[in-house]
Amino acid sequence: MPLRTQENWPHGAIMQDAEHTQFALWAPDAFYVSVELEDGQSLPMLPQGDGWFVIEARCPAGTRYRFNIDGELEVPDPASRAQDGDLDRHSVVVDPLAYEWRHTTWHGRPWSEAVIYELHVGALGGFAEVEQHLARLVELGITAIELMPVAQFPGTRNWGYDGVLPFAPQASYGTPEQLKHLIDSAHGHGLAVILDVVYNHFGPDGNYLGRYAKGFFREDKHTPWGAAIDFRRREVRDFFIENALMWVLEYRFDGLRLDAVHAIESPDFLPELAQRIRQQIDPSRHVWLTVENELNQSSLLEEDYDAQWNDDGHNALHVLLTGETDAYYADYALQPTEQLARCLSQGFVFQGHITRHGEPRGEPSEHLPSTAFILFLQNHDQIGNRAFGERLHHLADPRAVQAATVLLLLSPMIPLMFMGDEFAAEQPFLFFTSHHGELADLVREGRRNEFAAFSAFTDPHQREKIPDPNAEQTFHASQPRLVGSGSAKQQETLALYRRLLQLRHQYIIPNLSGTQALGAHMLGRGAVSARWRLGDGSELRIDLNLSDTPVVNPAQSDAVWLFQQPPAVALSEPGQLPAYCALVSLTAATPLQPLDGERL
């Protein structure tokens, strides 16, 4: 069958019909490339110019293959749609149309409805096992699950940010069809599904691109993970755009969260990626695009992306809750209460403000809607990047954590929680991998050296106590127990999350569109009062005291309580906000009956 002529080819093995597959590899540094089939056939690929090697062959779905480079090295397809096991096994031809979708009328949910539950697929047992949690999460009030990266990585245990084959779902989690079944089942429950994707680097183990496609990288720019990816190259840019489109169109993910986009050196790539996705999806679909971005670029959130993970909000809250000021928390050590107030009223804390390194960070964000910011008390990073993976309720006064939870779930920002938050899970979430040999040693020592800047680990002997990421026990210790009767503390936490999310769905979400921040101010150390004008004209007010001391706080005579934590707190002192307390009130644009308590 003759090949058509074109400048750029779709990367990888693309089925043309039920029996034929087109194999395309961009290998500008190779002289000869062939497709090596599992049955022993060798199919020489035809050079097409600009570094492309292409062949169309009689290979149905399920065909196992590798690429041979210059007769010297066999490698997996960098755009493999599935692996027959680990990276050293064959890539597999996948029929993207084989799965029969059950919930074909699903078009997603508006961003204003997002209540996000981040989870690690491997820690819960795999794609099929995650499905067992869907009904429970819907009953809790979750509207979206966010999967930490599932792209194929080396071994069977990993956070996913060391992925090497970004098109292939991790084989130890399940098949492409099982991932689609999980997404399909989630849609049947009314849940959106977000995927965390890594477009800023490849993992260090099993990546052969440097041998035959050095143009993927630029040696003049470096990231914490090595040479930066060269998005100036059309072939490289298309590789990642094709990946994003595959997840959104073929797998029907409802959103992507782009990891650490501050490490992407080409500023025009991110807008192009978003625009290509928006152009190709059905206009009736809701597809959410969010970023993690240390640069606090509000300009990205004005048109192309829905929201950013608000690390500023987390960091200010963490300092107030725990008193920790080591490493990056040092930027929030001196004025955490004022910074929290700025976050609630303007979005970012750092909007061009000078960091501890003496450099400006961020762009003005006050003009953005509150929904452009994703707030969280914990996520995989903020738990797992701790030496021992402790969860917040192990580090802070439980009363203060409960009060902060009220802010998380009832503020107009989009709330995100990490698996186990709702149950006050006792298990830690540690950093884990399954590397071997020299790389395992480097990861172990690198992990321990990361904490040299923390006061508790200045002694090397203390750092040696940090769990080995490659030990299987480190992974097993990180698997949360999320079902069962639980302790009284766990049941109390679960009841709090459930009640707060009921209120969010009833009073906040229907009126989020058009919400405007009305300002926030400091009431005292660890205490703030923030106000928002909701889309229906009502005024939402949250008074929060994370300290152990009551503070002065004038009440609103025409407001009604939406929620009070703790529920039995005495308000006998007029104009005072007790210690470890959160009060949420709502003043309607028209006369409003008491919602969940008495008039203030």
What three-state secondary structure class fits 491?
helix
Structure letter (DSSP) for residue 83:
B
Q: Which two tokens stand for residue 576?
A: 């005072």
Among 118, 230, 254, 292, the one annotated catalytic: 292
DSSP-assigned letters across all residues of 533-561: E-TTS-EEEEEEE-SSS-EE-PPPTT-EE
What three-state secondary structure class fits 297?
coil
Structure letter (DSSP) for residue 153:
-
345: β partners: none
List, as own/partner pairs, every contact residues 301-308 make where C-beta atoms lie below 8 angstroms and the sequence separation is at least 24, other chains included.
Answer: 301/365, 301/368, 301/372, 302/368, 303/271, 304/270, 304/271, 304/274, 304/275, 305/270, 305/274, 306/111, 306/255, 306/371, 306/372, 307/111, 307/371, 307/372, 307/373, 307/374, 307/414, 308/372, 308/373, 308/374
Q: Is the dihedral of CA 179, 182, 186, 188 positive or negative?
A: positive
Quick check: is 259 catalytic? yes
Cβ-count burial 573-582 (b if 16+ within 10 Å, e if not) = eeebbbbbbb
How far apart are alpha carbons 500 and 506 in whole angstroms? 10
How far apart are alpha carbons 380 and 119 in whole angstroms? 8
What three-state secondary structure class fits 67?
strand
DSSP-assigned letters across all residues of 328-364: GGGGGSS-HHHHHHHHHHHS-S-SSEE-TTS-EE---
Q: Determine the distance from the C-alpha atom of residue 31 to the mean position of all C-alpha atoms in its chain, rounded to a whole number.
A: 40
The one-letter amino acid code at 498 reads R
Residues of the chain by 3-state class (helix, strand, coil), percent to 5: 30, 25, 45
Contact at 8 Å (CB) between 65 and 13?
yes
Q: Which two tokens stand for residue 288?
A: 């959410």
How far apart are alpha carbons 504 and 509 in whole angstroms? 6
User: Could you tell me the maximum CA-CA distance found in the chain, to the nearest angstrom?
Assistant: 85
519: β partners: 531
CA nearest neighbour of 497 among 432, 415, 599: 415
Quick check: is 196 catalytic? no
Q: Which residues are catalytic?
A: 259, 292
